[in-house]
Structure 1
Amino acid sequence: MAISSIGIGSGLDVNSIISKLTDVEKQPLTTLKADAATIQAKVSAYGQVKSLISTFSDAAAKLTRDSAWNGLTIASTNTSAVNATVTGIASASTLSVGVQKLAQAQSTASAVVPTGTDLGGTLTIQLGTWNSGLTGFTPGLSSAVSITMTPGTTSLAAVASRINDANAGVTATVIKDASGERLMIRSKDTGEAAGFQIKAGSDASTGLAQLAFDPGTTATTTTRSQAGQNAQATINGVSVSSPTNSLTDTIPGLTIQLSQVTTSDALITASTDTATMKKNIQDFVDAYNAVSKFLGDATKYDSETKSAGLLQGDATALGLQNQLRAMLGSTTSGGTYKYLSDLGISIQRGGGLQVDSAKLDTALKTPENVKALFASDTGTLQTSGVAVKLKSFMTGLLALDGTLNTKTDSFDAATKRNTAEQDKVNARAALVEKRLKAQYTALDTQMASLTALSTYVNQQVTTWNNTKS
């Protein structure tokens, strides 16, 4: 008779015995799993280090660029009339700006077009400049655009739509009131050279001809409601003209926006933007402090709690910490300021940086000297600016073959070795379990056979005794 369950033949709790013996074989897994958890924790820690270093690198890189030190703030004494924005490299200055005329677009309006008027025919639109009195028109560089309407067209809206689709440099709108419909046409751009002339073709009906605008040559009822006009202004007493209300090339690095005619000049003041410079420096300090605090916490040993940080004793982390501190405390050459401490930025106990705001404000009164401390590039890292040194160092750290990625690769390799060791332990335990099951199955078979034999003998002895009696 076959044994259906291990232990029935012997009466032993064989499954429990095998399980416990197998667990003994798996005991190394406890250490291996703990090691795996530690490795993953270190991988996560170095991921955080990379993120913090990347942020610090960006903050340092910003301080190496001219744009971080050339910033200006703009103030106007009449913001409703004149404003300015920095659009390039500009110098600190004060400008007196007066506005005599604002740029405007030419606009025309037709007479009322009676309902049902045949608007078939052709209109030709040409951009250009009208002279004073509308007695002469000088075509611009763009080609004339012809608008052709099918004879029998009676919709003024259809004419407006066709004009708008033609990309002729004008926009058309139908105005409707109690007296009827009229067509208003306006230049897309402002300025004298963005005026327009509209001629009716020889095949145009009387209705379509009403929409033409060609003073002196065509008898139409279309009138000019607004002339194309350039902006007229003075800057420090010098007259300037512009087809738009934005003076973009008049003052290098500045765009001056004209919004209103003035009765007295407005003062535009462009001054050095030390507030942004100070913020960029504070961002640099904050980014470093975040790196310093994380590395400090991760590598320290707390004697009171007798607990070590996750990276305590890690040579890479300790080396990184020391290198960053050394660069922050290093000197630069060729400038008024040699050390960060000269600006009021000092290294505190524990490695963090602290800013003396008042001292930094004083230093920023000569921003070119502060810039030299951070951004000077002497061609040699040892004597270049602090931000230049740090940017170069951290770029190397974050490179594909840099220290941080190499460290992560070593953790990946350790994880693979750990996984392989766990697989070996599990495989060895599985073999032990298989062998024990085979052995106990054989034992069960033997015990079952012996038990059956013993039962048979006892039965025979009992029978024999009963027979004898």
Structure 2
Amino acid sequence: MATISSIGVGSGLDVQGIISKMVDLEKQPLAGLQAKQAGIQAQVSTYAQIKSLTGKLSDAVSKLTLDSGWNALATKSSSDAVSLTVSGLAQPASYDIGVSQLARAQTSVSDARAPGAKLTAAGTLQFTPQGGTAINIAYTGDDTLESLAGKINDAVGSVTATIMRDASGERLMLRSKATGADAAFTVTGDLNFTQSQTAQNARITVNGVATESGTNSFDSVLPGLKIAVSQVTTTDAHVSVAADTAATRKNIQDFVDAYNELNGLLADSTKYDADTKTAGLLQGDSATVGLQNALRMLTMGSAGNATGSLRRLADVGIQMQAGGKLAVDDTKLGKALQESPDDIKSLFAAKASPDGSGGGIAVNFKQYTSQLLAFDGTLNSKSDSLALRIKSNQGEQDKVNDRAGVLQARLTRQYSALDTQMASLQSLSAYMQQQVANWNKKT
């Protein structure tokens, strides 16, 4: 019996082409399923963006719910010699600060010696910090000033010993690591030291009241403020602390920008373009449309518990435009910040009632965005739903591919069997023709 080495040889048919076309017909549903899955993947990507922008909005409104978002202070000084830094809770005020003395460290130097010369005789240096216990540093005749400096640095943590070279030779210089009178020290021994610079505190007056510090920083003289001085003054520096309306304005603008960015993405995703007859990726999606509407309602809501005349965003110049975008009237907002700082703070940050109602605009936004971003919130639920749709779609694709694979295997077996039969018949036919030819010859 003939052996078939290639399917179709026995029958003379284009069997591979026939099987391929029939398998392609079986796989036709894949195109629709793959297109559908691409659309779902695009929705997944869009919801990841929505979640990210919701987080950005939540961060922005969070600043407006906290006292720190409204109590920012700015400092100003009439002189570079004096500066103020806000370090805690402080009140707007102004001060006149004069600097009569800067803090400095003590420096003591030894007599000059030839560079690298040995000390020739053993001895002891006694180092005594201000109000502390004396420390003895022993040296030998083979020591030099440089090796003695190393011993001092190892033994005494409050000074730095270095070698200073000048035209007279080299000297051992001791300098206290800290500034201020409390960092003073004495050094005695066989080597002679001269105090070239005394330790001293910084001295200032604040509105005529004298005070001093071991450093050029005064951290506790004024509540919530740090004073730093860098020069002695001949005229008092006038420094002031005032509400930082620029920082507050920026916090409000950050909220508006974050809202507009999220609203823009939601609007683009849900719109229908009548001119091009194309729908947004999430057009008609109830969860997305509901999210868009809820956010817009929050911007138009009122702060029921606000203490003052400002109850709505429009009262401070923040109004909704076409398409849901917020626009800021800088003049109106600036006036509210200057004239009614407490009222505008209450508009955004008023506490909600126990039932969750009446909160400030930022408080309500924070509550809603936190719910959206929660583990079991709307955004994660929507993402999970889309993930299930992708899994289901992939399952349908797998079924189509499995059916096509089964069909291909079955057709291959059938046509292989047909080829075997056709080859056998052809072989029998050839044999019969040969026998007839032989018979004819004999007859």
Instruction: Give the TM-score of the pair, scaled to structure 1.
Output: 0.88
Find the residue that maps to 2:369 and give its secondary structure: helix
Query: 1:429, 1:144 → 2: CA distance?
Result: 95
How far apart are residue 4 of structure 1 and its match? 0.8
Task: Name the CA shift for 1:27/1:356 in 2 (closer, same or farther; >3 Å).
Answer: same
How far is 1:102 from its partner?
1.1
Distance 1:259 1:445 in 2: 104
Pairing 1:285-296 to 2, within 5 Å after superposition: 285-296=256-267
Aligned residues of 2:113 and 2:168 also touching (Cα < 8 A)? no
- Say which of 389, 398, 419 aligns to 1:444: 419
SS at match of 1:182: strand
Q: Which moved more, 1:11-20 or 1:100-109?
A: 100-109
Task: Give the Cα–Cα distance (whole angstroms) in 1 for the partners of residues 68 and 121 of structure 2.
Answer: 58
- The equivalences for 1:395-410 within 5 A come to 395-410=370-385
Return the offset for 1:382: 2.1
Aligned AA for 1:152? Answer: G
Would you say the 8 A contact 1:125–1:168 is kept in 2? no
Give 1:82's aligned residue: 82
Q: Take 1:124 and 1:400, find their aligned partners in 2: how far apart are those partners?
A: 68
**1:142-181 equivalences in 2 (<5 Å):** 143-149=133-139, 151-181=140-170
Is the 1:331–1:338 Cα contact (8 Å) retained in structure 2? Answer: yes
- What letter matches 1:288 in structure 2? Y
Alignment partner of 1:323 is 2:333: no
Amino acid in structure 2 at the alignment position of 1:198:
V
Could you say what secondary structure the match of 2:98 adopts? strand
Shift of 1:196: 0.9
Match of residue 198 from structure 1: 187
Give the Cα separation in 1 of the matches to 2:317 and 2:31.
53
Cα 1:370–1:177, aligned 2, differ >3 Å: closer, same or farther? same
Per-residue CA deviations over 1:306-326 (Å, capped at 9, x if unaligned) read: 111111111221111111111
Find the aligned partners of 2:388 and 2:30 in 1 and give their Cα distance.
18
Measured in 2, the distance between the counterparts of 1:145 and 1:414 equals 79
The match for 2:125 is 123
2-side partners of 1:162 and 1:325: how far apart? 73
Q: Deviations over 1:263-302 (max 9, x none)?
A: 1111002121111111111111001100000000001111
- Paired residues, what number? 436
Give the equivalent residue in structure 1 for 2:323: 350
Matched, 1:368 2:342: yes
> In 2 relative to 1, CA 16–367 (structure 1 residues): closer, same or farther, beyond 3 Å?
same
* Residue 16 (structure 1) shift: 0.6
**Once the two structures are superposed, what CA deviation does each residue of 1:84-113 show, in whole Å capped at 9, x if it has no partner?**
111222211111111111111111111113
- Counterpart in the other structure of 1:214: none
State the partner residue of 1:257.
228
Letter in 2 for 1:91: Q
What is the Cα deviation at residue 153 of structure 1? 3.6
CA shift for structure 1 position 379? 4.0
Q: String of CA shifts for 1:167-201, please: whole Å, max 9, x gaps.
A: 5311111111221211111111111111112244x
Cα 1:146/1:348, change in 2 over 3 Å: farther
* Code of the aligned partner of 2:58: S
TM-score (ref. length: structure 2):
0.93
Please, which runs of 5 or more residues in structure 2 have no aligned partner?
A: none
**What is the aligned counterpart of 2:282 among 300, 307, 311?**
311
**C-alpha distance 26-464 of structure 1, shift in aligned 2 (>3 A):** same
* CA root-mean-square deviation: 1.9
Secondary structure of the corresponding residue to residue 249 of structure 1? strand
Q: 1:145, 1:168 within 8 Å by CA — same for their partners in 2?
A: no
The CA distance in 2 between the partners of 1:119 and 1:43, in whole Å, is: 84
Query: Aligned ranges for residues 162-311 of structure 1 at < 5 Å?
Result: 162-200=151-189, 209-210=190-191, 221-311=192-282
1:359 aligns with 2:332: yes
Q: Which amino acid aligns with 2:205?
A: T
For residue 453 of structure 1, report the CA deviation from its aligned partner.
Answer: 3.3
Contact 2:75 2:240 in 1 (8 A): yes
Task: Give unpaired runs (5+ residues) of structure 1.
Answer: 129-138, 201-208, 211-220
1:265 partner letter: D
